[in-house]
Chains A and B, each alone.
Chain A
Amino acid sequence: MSREELNKDMETTVENKLVAKDFSSEMEVKWCPGCGDYSILKQVQTVFPDLGIPKEQFAFISGIGCSSRFTYYMDTYGMHSIHGRAAAIASGVKAANPDLSVWIISGDGDALSIGGNHFIHLMRKNFDVNYLVFNNQIYSLTKGQYSPTSERGKVTKSSPYGSIEEPFNPSELALGAKASFVARTLDRDPKHMQAILKRAHAHKGTSFVEVYQNCPVFNDAAFFAFSEKDTKKDEAILLEHGKPLVFGNNDEKGIMFDGLNPIILNITESGVSLNDLWIHDEKDKTKANILSRFFDTNYNDLRFPRPFGVIYVQERPVYDENLVDQIDVVTAKKGKTPLNKILSGDKTWSIN
């Protein structure tokens, strides 16, 4: 049976059978009340039955951190491994068995600090796995130190006078590392997260999803500007492929290009048509690069909203497929060497 046939076959037998509860393990969930991780767990369990994959074909690989406990709560195969190394372990899992649907769960410290090297190389190699980074801009499990995504000036236990470090911009980093799928979502928008999870699953290649996650204990409200009613329409912009970049309380603001730089203008006042605005194109890397930099770069002294959605998608060769293809090609060309031939090598002599 080919992979597609197998998948099809699974879809028909699995469809209608699994429900969210089937993905919930017996282990008691132990995150703090109000932790954003609950929502992520819920959304994953909600969309998984729709993916058409039998439970046993999922493998969750996580590192260490509050976020990485996730693995224990999913009734699938899973490994809660060591700090920062989930991506490296997951590449071995996927290389060994490309038929598995592999999900890496990691935190901002796990993925971008101790695991930074594996993070960039996974993006570059483009294994067909999904990589969810729960970004709460803090080290939570170790009780509140600044992380590589914490903002400058952040006061934490290890930076009582404020952090003097420049934070990573995760999507820019991922794009720089040649990620083939980059998206951002947040814990407080379940529907959005569900849609992004499905897109991540559907993408062939490494799907990097940054999930803004609230840690009410050590870094409360870090992302509320993007989720609270009174601010979110001004602070966040929802990306949709083929749609213009529009935001603001009454959708009155639009983003368009002035030469190479983006500008923000009032649609009604300026009289531009929606067609003249920046139309989101997931496949355009130049635009994706600029979008990712809405994070912290000021163009023309303007403050840009934070983009949510799929920032970039690229179809390109997938490591685990290439690995298998190469084996097939070489085998077809050379044929398997019998073990006895490997043992004897090319040059032998006998002694009587």
Chain B
Amino acid sequence: METVELKAGKTTEVIETDRIVVRFSGDSGDGMQLTGMQFSDTAALFGNDISTFPDYPSEIRAPIGTVAGVSGFQVHFGSREIFTSGDEYDVLVAMNAAALKVDLPKLKKGGIIIANSAGFDKKNLNLAQYPDGVNPLEDGTLSNYVLQKVDITKHTKDCLAETGLGMKDIERSKNMFVLGLLFWMFDKPLDHTLKFIEEKFSKKPEIAEANEKTLKAGWAYGENTEFFTTQFKVSAAKLPSGIYRSITGNHATAIGLIAASEKSGLPLFLGSYPITPATDILHELSKYKANGVKTLQAEDEIAGICSAIGASYAGNLGITTTSGPGMALKTEALGLATMLEIPLVVINVQRGGPSTGLPTKTEQADLLMAMHGRHGEAPVAVLAASTPSDCFEMAYEACRISVEHMTPVILLTDGYIANGSEPWMFPTEDQLKPIKVQFLDKPNAENDVLLPYKRDEKLVRPWIKPGTKGLEHRIGGLEKQNETGNVSYDPKNHETMVGLRAAKIAKIADYIPLAKPESGNEKAKLLVLGWGSTSGSIKTAVIESIAEGYDVANIHLKYINPFPKNLGEMLKGYDQVLIPEMNCGQLLELIRSKYMVPAIGFSKVQGLPFTTSELKEKIKQLLKD
């Protein structure tokens, strides 16, 4: 702790800390997402490790000032490695009474509240449904916290009074005041945001100027008023050296698909129907026309997958993206692709279900649907991404497996990692695994005979593009005779084909990485086994528990069908296996039935990610008994 004398005779204390969680919370119209992004980008550029969690309502314009309309953005940044967006926050920015009401429960005891006092007038208190005459800013109920009341609205108006801007534009600038104030509090430079403002409003210089002015006024407010006496310093993190960018999961998925298309030489075709939280992948891919990317906004999810099947049949990298309800619609066509044995990548950005469920909240409850959600014996490969940047790797892997093994691949991500962001040491083109593609161009059996379902050593049939001279043939959803692909109703043949299709998927295990502990040892009292987006919280909980002396390890699964070959063997190294999931125990069911181990489930189905402390508590409880 050091004390610095400032010019106005004000004394500011500077506290060094290794990590901070800030929650920006306000009405949907208050620009909290943008404010949070700017703050995060600045922290990342400065060298902090970060993890973000945008948490917005599903209504586009919920009534202003109500609890339903609260939009939050959480950022966790640190001088050490950060794997989650944080259980609790150190600082809560509440732009109105509703925001405080919604987000106060997860503010740390002793944490800082920066409240826009203008958002706590009678009207706002009523809208947030505080009882008549109650104002939490005035009644002492917040005495466990450091409360900073700032009339942000008034300060913004004062600052822009002479600009001649209308009230609406002035109101809109108030998030910049908050951002400036937070930059001061955390000792971060303004340049990144100043540049952003300049670019964003290049055609509206008066708005750019207003935003700049307000941003600087926010900073000056922290610097000069006597209310703010503490600054926090979070040094740069010691991340592996290299070049980084910031990336969200959906963006990473999109460029993973493009990378696979470029590396395989297969043109990318996306057939998709908009659905939260998957739509951004469609948006992103639609920008890449100049890279030959074809996107078709289909009339429904069935047409999305069917057009992708058609494109794949014609020799493109066929992809479809969706979320739970759309996934349900795609099941019949997935069966067709399984029967045809053609490549197809299906991305399910999971959200809370069933039905419309919790469209903007996260969940991992589509795992068993991905595994089994088709009629008949219809195995497909199933992968899951674990972090925002891992979506790149797994989208790329989904394409590689799909093309090299002639099979549909379902990639599961979810709302948490799809919208969350983190710094990413991105690869260069030459660091990417090659993707081997071969189209058959001549008959593949003796006497110039074509056998469309003749298999290679991987049990994979050839990919044959319509347009190839001399290889005209018919395929379809009816059961096929082994090798010839002709329609066959022969009982024994059906059993053979069911077996071959299953064996082909099982064989993928020879072409994926083995399982190994991410932290902890190959033998321990407890293994925490996870999959998908719980990776960050599990990793943090396990690393911290090990540091506290517990004998625990964690393995995180990104390949679920097939599992890594050595998984069964690995499980034997642990006395107990704990499987935390944002569902009611779906991986648990798979692991128990496949490996006959008495794994213990740990469920959370609240539309929210696990907190580190929940997991640590569970780990300690299991290791105590």
A272 shortest CB reach to chain B, Å = 47
Chain A residues whose C-beta falls within 8 Å of the C-beta of B244 in the assembled complex: 348-351
* Given known A-B contacts A93-B310, A339-B259, A351 and B242 have beta carbons under 8 A apart: yes
Chain B interface: which of A154-162, A226-234, A328-336? A328-336
CB closest chain-A residue, reference B465: A97
Q: Which of A55, A74, A327 contacts B290 (CB 8 A)?
A: A327
A252 shortest CB reach to chain B, Å = 47
B291 touches A337 (CB 8 A): yes
CB closest chain-A residue, reference B314: A96
Residue numbers of B with Cβ under 8 A of A are 41, 44-45, 47, 236-237, 239-247, 255, 258-259, 262-263, 267, 269, 271, 288-292, 294, 296, 298-300, 302-303, 306-316, 318, 332-333, 335-336, 340, 426-429, 465-478, 486-487
B245 touches A95 (CB 8 A): no
Q: Which of B242, B243, B476 contacts A80 (CB 8 A)?
A: B476
Q: Which of A55, A92, A97 contacts B306 (CB 8 A)?
A: A92
Residue numbers of A with Cβ under 8 A of B are 25, 27, 54-57, 59-61, 64, 71-72, 74-82, 85, 88-97, 99-100, 117-118, 121, 323, 326-327, 330-331, 333-340, 342-345, 347-352
Chain A residues whose C-beta falls within 8 Å of the C-beta of B429 in the assembled complex: 338-340, 343
B294 touches A343 (CB 8 A): no
Q: List 12 A-B contacts (CB under 8 A).
A: A56-B472, A77-B472, A88-B298, A89-B306, A89-B307, A92-B271, A96-B294, A326-B289, A327-B290, A343-B429, A349-B44, A351-B242
B243 touches A349 (CB 8 A): yes
A347 touches B246 (CB 8 A): yes
Q: Which residue of B243, B310, B471 has the most chain A CB atoms within 10 A of its CB atom?
A: B310
B468 touches A79 (CB 8 A): no
A343 touches B427 (CB 8 A): yes
Cα–Cα, bound, A99→B470 (Å): 17
Q: Which of A85, A121, A348 contacts B243 (CB 8 A)?
A: A348
B136 shortest CB reach to chain A, Å = 39
A95 touches B311 (CB 8 A): yes
A339 touches B314 (CB 8 A): no
Chain A residues whose C-beta falls within 8 Å of the C-beta of B262 in the assembled complex: 339
A349 touches B290 (CB 8 A): no
CB closest chain-A residue, reference B195: A347
A97 touches B314 (CB 8 A): yes
A79 touches B243 (CB 8 A): no
B310 touches A90 (CB 8 A): yes
B449 shortest CB reach to chain A, Å = 12
A344 touches B466 (CB 8 A): no
Cα–Cα, bound, A186→B332 (Å): 33
A56 touches B332 (CB 8 A): no
Cα–Cα, bound, A323→B311 (Å): 14
Cα–Cα, bound, A331→B478 (Å): 41
Cα–Cα, bound, A236→B211 (Å): 73
Chain A residues whose C-beta falls within 8 Å of the C-beta of B486 in the assembled complex: 27
B471 touches A56 (CB 8 A): yes
B318 touches A92 (CB 8 A): yes
B269 touches A345 (CB 8 A): no
Q: Which of B291, B336, B487 contacts A81 (CB 8 A)?
A: B336
CB closest chain-A residue, reference B309: A89
Q: Which residue of A72, A77, A343 has the most chain B CB atoms within 10 A of its CB atom?
A: A343
Chain B residues whose C-beta falls within 8 Å of the C-beta of A96 in the assembled complex: 267, 269, 294, 310-316, 318
Cα–Cα, bound, A64→B336 (Å): 12
Cα–Cα, bound, A46→B247 (Å): 57
Q: Which of B41, B306, B470, B487 contacts A88 (CB 8 A)?
A: B306
The 4 nearest A-B residue pairs measured at CB:
A92-B310, A80-B476, A92-B307, A88-B306
Chain A residues whose C-beta falls within 8 Å of the C-beta of B289 in the assembled complex: 326-327, 330-331
B47 touches A57 (CB 8 A): no
A216 shortest CB reach to chain B, Å = 24
Q: Which residue of A56, A338, A339, A345 has the most chain B CB atoms within 10 A of its CB atom?
A: A339
A221 shortest CB reach to chain B, Å = 31
Cα–Cα, bound, A79→B478 (Å): 10
Cα–Cα, bound, A100→B313 (Å): 12
Cα–Cα, bound, A344→B244 (Å): 8
Chain A residues whose C-beta falls within 8 Å of the C-beta of B271 in the assembled complex: 92
15 further interface pairs, Cβ-Cβ under 8 Å (given A74-B474, A88-B310, A330-B290): A57-B467, A59-B466, A81-B336, A85-B303, A85-B333, A88-B303, A89-B307, A99-B467, A117-B300, A335-B290, A339-B258, A347-B45, A348-B245, A351-B239, A352-B241
Cα–Cα, bound, A55→B473 (Å): 11
Cα–Cα, bound, A229→B243 (Å): 82
A93 touches B290 (CB 8 A): no
CB closest chain-A residue, reference B340: A79
Q: Which of A55, A94, A99, A333 contacts B472 (CB 8 A)?
A: A55
* Given known A-B contacts A80-B477, A336-B290, A352-B241, A54 and B310 have beta carbons under 8 A apart: no
Cα–Cα, bound, A249→B522 (Å): 91
* Given known A-B contacts A76-B472, A351-B239, A93 and B313 have beta carbons under 8 A apart: yes
A92 touches B314 (CB 8 A): yes
B474 touches A71 (CB 8 A): yes
Chain B residues whose C-beta falls within 8 Å of the C-beta of A331 in the assembled complex: 289-290, 292
Cα–Cα, bound, A333→B290 (Å): 9
Cα–Cα, bound, A85→B114 (Å): 56
A117 touches B299 (CB 8 A): yes
Cα–Cα, bound, A59→B466 (Å): 7
Chain B residues whose C-beta falls within 8 Å of the C-beta of A74 in the assembled complex: 474
A25 shortest CB reach to chain B, Å = 7
B472 touches A82 (CB 8 A): no
CB closest chain-A residue, reference B304: A88
Cα–Cα, bound, A199→B347 (Å): 41
A100 touches B426 (CB 8 A): no
A117 touches B303 (CB 8 A): yes
CB closest chain-B residue, reference A93: B310
A88 touches B302 (CB 8 A): yes
A89 touches B467 (CB 8 A): no
Chain A residues whose C-beta falls within 8 Å of the C-beta of B469 in the assembled complex: 54, 56
Chain B residues whose C-beta falls within 8 Å of the C-beta of A25 in the assembled complex: 474
Cα–Cα, bound, A351→B426 (Å): 13
Cα–Cα, bound, A121→B307 (Å): 13
Chain A residues whose C-beta falls within 8 Å of the C-beta of B247 in the assembled complex: 345
Cα–Cα, bound, A25→B315 (Å): 23
A337 touches B294 (CB 8 A): no
Cα–Cα, bound, A84→B294 (Å): 24
Cα–Cα, bound, A351→B271 (Å): 39
B476 touches A121 (CB 8 A): no
B464 shortest CB reach to chain A, Å = 8
Q: Which residue of A76, A334, A335, A351 has the most chain B CB atoms within 10 A of its CB atom?
A: A351
Chain B residues whose C-beta falls within 8 Å of the C-beta of A94 in the assembled complex: 310
CB closest chain-B residue, reference A347: B245
A342 touches B258 (CB 8 A): yes
* Given known A-B contacts A56-B471, A85-B306, A337-B290, A121 and B299 have beta carbons under 8 A apart: yes
Cα–Cα, bound, A56→B300 (Å): 31
CB closest chain-B residue, reference A334: B290
A107 shortest CB reach to chain B, Å = 15
Cα–Cα, bound, A92→B318 (Å): 9
Cα–Cα, bound, A25→B259 (Å): 40
Cα–Cα, bound, A344→B486 (Å): 48
* Given known A-B contacts A330-B290, A343-B255, A92 and B311 have beta carbons under 8 A apart: yes
B235 shortest CB reach to chain A, Å = 12
B297 shortest CB reach to chain A, Å = 10
Chain A residues whose C-beta falls within 8 Å of the C-beta of B316 in the assembled complex: 96
B474 touches A100 (CB 8 A): no
Chain A residues whose C-beta falls within 8 Å of the C-beta of B427 in the assembled complex: 343
